[in-house]
Amino acid sequence: MKIHWQNERLIVAEGDITRFDGDAIVNAANKSLLGGGGVDGAIHRAAGPELLEACRELRAREWPDGLPVGEVAITPGFRLPAAYVIHTVGPVYAKSEDRSELLANCYRNSLRVAAERHFSRLAFPAISTGIYGYPADAAAGIVSDVMRELLPALPGLEVTLMFFSAADAEVYLRHA
Ligand code: ADP
């Protein structure tokens, strides 16, 4: 992972989130929780088949209709270096409707779970900015607002925003 910027609480980095060695990584999952493309597929491949099994159990026990957009569910990380995976479902981008609160909720709820579990290191991918089509600069503004709003109240937590390319990290830093 390459660090582009950091302060005491927030790190803006470029790299593969499946290699993040901390308490948890966030997965940009889909409603089904049963895996998909992009970062979701990469996380399932790296975590091994136990992750899919754990997600199936979550569906059966807690989310029979799938995980709603903006909500979170947690599983172990299995073969990942990270101990846990916090699964969240980002909104699909739409020009006709402002879905920024839904995207903000993915980050807020993930931070809440991390705080409840006393995690000290958490990494996020750029939720919704791949297959779900959210413009990277609009997402950056939303994410930086949530971090500004919530990180001061979560003193034990260090958050890494893990972008998949240098260009994506730079977009964040320009629009944050
Ligand atoms: P969504 O469906 O929420 O848009 P995607 O997985 O398609 O999710 O993309 C979300 C972001 O994750 C994109 O910016 C994509 O480049 C990035 N990404 C894909 N694979 C990885 C990975 N292994 N580590 C970190 N980020 C990744």
Cβ–ligand 1 distance for 162 under 6 Å, the answer yes
| pTM (global) more than 0.95 | yes
Mutate to test the pocket of ligand 1, among 20, 27, 33, 39 (most ligand atoms within 8 A of CB): 39
- Ligand 1 atom closest to Cα of 133? 4
pLDDT single digits (tens) 63-92: 999 999 999 999 999 999 999 999 999 999
Q: Is 98 a catalytic residue?
A: no
DSSP state of 18: G
Give me ligand 1 centre to Cα 35, in Å. 13
Please report the pLDDT score of residue 122 as a whole number.
Answer: 98
Please report the pLDDT score of residue 176 as a whole number.
Answer: 81
Give me ligand 1 centre to Cα 42, in Å. 9
Residue 42 has pLDDT above 90, yes or no: yes
Catalytic-labelled residue, pool 23, 40, 98, 168 = 40
CA dist., res. 101 & res. 98, Å (int): 8
Determine contact, residues 26/19, Cβ cutoff 8 Å: no
* Average confidence (pLDDT) over 94-114: 98
CA dist., res. 35 & res. 85, Å (int): 13
CA dist., res. 32 & res. 34, Å (int): 5
Buried b (16+ CB within 10 A) or exposed e, 60-78: eeebeeebebbbbbbbebb
Give me ligand 1 centre to Cα 10, in Å. 19
Beta-carbon contacts of residue 92 (< 8 Å; ≥ 6 apart): 99, 128, 132, 133
Buried b (16+ CB within 10 A) or exposed e, 89-124: bbbebeeeeebeebbbbbbbbbbebbbeeebebbbb
